[in-house]
Amino acid sequence: MMKRFFLLLLSVVIAVTAVAEKTAKRLKPLKGRIVVLTFDDATAGQREVVAPLLHKYGFGATFYVCEFPGFEDKTKYMSWDQIRELDEMGFEIGNHSRSHGQMSQMTRKQIGSETAYIEDKCALYGIPRPVTYAYPGYDNSPEGIAVLKERGYKLARHGGDKPYVKGVSDKMLMPSYGVVDARFETPEFFEKALDEARDGQVVIFCLHGVPDLAHDFVSTSPENFEKLLSMLKERKCKVISMRDLLKYDL
Ligand SMILES: [Zn+2]
């Protein structure tokens, strides 16, 4: 009787281990030159300029959308119909909060409603519920991070001009390199950053408008943007969205 019980237990353990191994195997190893492109604030031009260029290069990307104060001005910001088109083109729509406020200055309740607003808008437009988040102005708080986890967010983007390093970086505070026109005056910035795209690491770039008609100081010209795209192509980088990273063993 005892022997039969142990044999049964052993076979259960073997079966569970096999399933666990299979699940682990499904994740791709974090190898090669993996680069993530992210675009914030739903600025005009992300649909008309950025998306077609990304398509031309065969690159994936994430668009972190919000309704920045002044969102009504469609010369500066995309419409929700355009945001839906980005989703239909295969790009990821991520959450950048409703009104781009400072997370550290908000209550849990406020953070919840700011986050839910974008989720509801996505649902209304048939866009998948966001699973990744970008902190407005990189500002965050432990309470805010807890709210995001409760709502099912798997990855969140921060700043810092350094790579994501497996086993070291926090998945809810993933570092990124900020890209604006001034960066192109020192091409070493990109060379150094792209050297960090290697096994066990991911380089995430954070861009805004191309160009940014709402906030000049974060603008990247279409010419400079194409320079970045050709650098990524030259180095044979695998350019994906934040959501795509979830397929990897981070
Ligand atoms: Zn922003």
Task: List, for residues 57-111, the tens digit of each pLDDT value.
Answer: 999 999 999 999 999 999 999 999 999 999 999 999 999 999 999 999 999 999 9
How far, in Å, is the centroid of ligand 1 from the Cα of 240? Answer: 20
- Tell me if residue 165 falls in helix, strand or coil: strand
How far, in Å, is the centroid of ligand 1 from the Cα of 2? Answer: 63
How far, in Å, is the centroid of ligand 1 from the Cα of 96? Answer: 7
CB atoms within 10 A of CB 196: 17
Indicate the average pLDDT of the chain: 93
Number of H helices, E strands in the chain: 8, 9
- Asked if residue 235 lies in contact with residue 198, where contact means CB atoms within 8 angstroms, the answer is no
- pLDDT tens for residues 3-29? 665 566 666 665 655 555 555 568 999
How far, in Å, is the centroid of ligand 1 from the Cα of 214? Answer: 11
Token reading at 37: 């492109």
- Asked if residue 122 lies in contact with residue 82, where contact means CB atoms within 8 angstroms, the answer is no
pLDDT of residue 31: 97
How far, in Å, is the centroid of ligand 1 from the Cα of 11? Answer: 52
How far, in Å, is the centroid of ligand 1 from the Cα of 208? Answer: 7
- pLDDT tens for residues 178-206? 999 999 999 899 999 999 999 999 999 99
Token reading at 94: 């991520």
How far, in Å, is the centroid of ligand 1 from the Cα of 230? Answer: 25
Task: List, in order of start, the domains of the chain with CATH numbers.
Answer: 30-245 (3.20.20.370)
How far, in Å, is the centroid of ligand 1 from the Cα of 134? Answer: 8
**What protein residues have CB closer than 5 angstroms to ion ligand 1?**
40-41, 136
How far, in Å, is the centroid of ligand 1 from the Cα of 238? Answer: 25
Place of tokens 């010369």: 75
Using alpha carbons, select from 150, 96, 93, 155 the residue that is nearest to residue 125: 93
The runs of H, that is alpha helices, within 90-206 are 108-124, 142-150, 188-195
How far, in Å, is the centroid of ligand 1 from the Cα of 38? Answer: 11
CA distance 223 to 225: 5
How far, in Å, is the centroid of ligand 1 from the Cα of 242? Answer: 16
Place of tokens 């668009």: 63
Q: Is 198 exposed, middle or buried (0-12, 13-18, 19+ CB in 10 A)?
A: middle
How far, in Å, is the centroid of ligand 1 from the Cα of 245? Answer: 21
Q: Is the dihedral of CA 124, 128, 129, 133 positive or negative?
A: negative
